[in-house]
Amino acid sequence: MDRDSLLARVRSKERLSEAEGLAIYSDLDTATLAEAATLVRERYSDPRIVTYLVDRNVNYTNVCITDCKFCEFYRPPGHAESYVLTRTDMHRKLAELVAVGGTRVLLQGGHNPDLRLRYYEELFRWIGAEFPTLELDALSPSEVEHIALLEGMSLEAVVDRLVASGLRGIPGGGGEILDDEIRARVSPKKIKTAAWLRVMEIAHERRLYTSASQVFGFGEEPIHRLRALEALRAQQDRSLARFGHGFMAFIAWPLQYESRYGEVFGKMKGWKLGGDAEDYLRHIAFCRVYLDNIPHFQASWPTMGLEVAGRALHHGCDDLGGTMMEENVVSQAGSVHACAPAESLVRVAKSAGFEARQRDSWYRSLSPTA
């Protein structure tokens, strides 16, 4: 398929098949993909506006038993560097967020076998009582499944208990690439694709905020990336048809890794790991074209930096995500872009030729044109 054919297909809203997607991914130049991605972006959002969120990413624990080969953040139970945040530390972090006008806390950790469902219920209720203005987006499908397995409960029952305690969204962490061939290679103890999608379908039925994500650069082939995108696209179709509600946003970034994964699993096997700015921009543009039913795409400045994030706004992204205030997972894996104040995100949007507006998790505007 050449440039004119692709643009014609996108303008007429004709969906690409997996085979067509694979051919386009391999053959078409990045500029063409970016042009097509911009057309899809403009179906869902004002072409003049780029949004951002004032939030904080709080990692409530670093204890995990899944031993993912790429993760530098986790510590096994009993490790000298393991932790569970105290309420005092949590209060300080959330008070700082409220003080700068934050509206969302993103609460994520590991698969900690000592934290049972009651811990999360009590924590969520405490956050709601102490900080009623904050929206609570917490855990991930992987953490939800972990809790369900610990408790011997269904996924539905766990989600319902968490929602009753104040949960309002489940972010798309723990997905990496939703292809079980690759998951068996890099995270064999972690949630499988079908269960990840099932947690999100339950969340969609309960009208929670959800996002989807993809990490690429594990040494996989393009077909693995396409299969994962197809799984997300199909789930979005199902959720929209059944519930009128689905994923609000998609985020992608290349694998961030330090020596352990790079040396042991990359160099030894000859895999190409991670990706540079051009790999990222090409991939995010393609994803915007292929994932034609997810309304918002976030530029991943925490992994790629603010300059590349600004370029991503011309490759299909309409959002700069959250300010985060702190970041502990990808930074420990090698990224140096840990946090950015709102002023920096506004500056990036303006430098790229857009107006910047603060939003909430549901992409409702919270500010006039910035």
**Residue 368 pLDDT:** 53
Q: Can you count the helices (H) and strands (E) in the chain? A: 15, 10
Nearest to 283 by CA among 323, 350, 228: 228
Count the domains in the chain.
1
Flag whether 13 is in a domain: no
pLDDT tens for each residue of 49-71: 999 999 999 999 999 999 887 78
Q: Identify whether the C-beta of residue 314 lies closer than 8 Å to the C-beta of residue 352.
A: yes
Give residue 215's Cα distance to chain centre: 9
Flag whether 17 is in a domain: no
Kindly state the average pLDDT of the residues 214-239: 96
Flag whether 145 is in a domain: yes
Question: In the chain, what percentage of residues exceed pLDDT 90?
Answer: 83
Neighbours of 207 (CB within 10 A): 12
Flag whether 364 is in a domain: no
Flag whether 367 is in a domain: no
Kindly state the average pLDDT of the residues 191-212: 98
Strands 209-216 and 169-170: parallel
**Residue 335 pLDDT:** 43
Query: What single string gives the DSSP state of each residue in 192-216?
Result: PHHHHHHHHHHHHHTT-EEEEEEEE
Structural domain harbouring 316: 45-359
Residue 223's CATH number? 3.20.20.70
Flag whether 299 is in a domain: yes
Question: Is the predicted pLDDT of residue 332 greater than 60, yes or no?
Answer: no
Kindly state the average pLDDT of the residues 336-356: 87
Question: Is the predicted pLDDT of residue 369 greater than 70, yes or no?
Answer: no
Strands 319-322 and 49-53: parallel
Question: Is the predicted pLDDT of residue 338 greater than 70, yes or no?
Answer: no
State the Cα–Cα distance between residues 324 and 316, nearest whole angstrom: 22
Nearest to 284 by CA among 85, 38, 106: 38
**Residue 5 pLDDT:** 93
pLDDT tens for each residue of 302-318: 999 999 999 999 999 99
Contacts of 58 (CB under 8 A, 6+ apart): 85, 90, 93, 94, 105, 106, 107, 108, 326
Q: How confident is the model at residue 263 (pLDDT cuts 50, 70, 90)?
A: low
Flag whether 303 is in a domain: yes
SS3 63: strand
Q: Is 321 left (phi over 0), alpha (psi -120 to 50) or beta?
A: left
Flag whether 253 is in a domain: yes
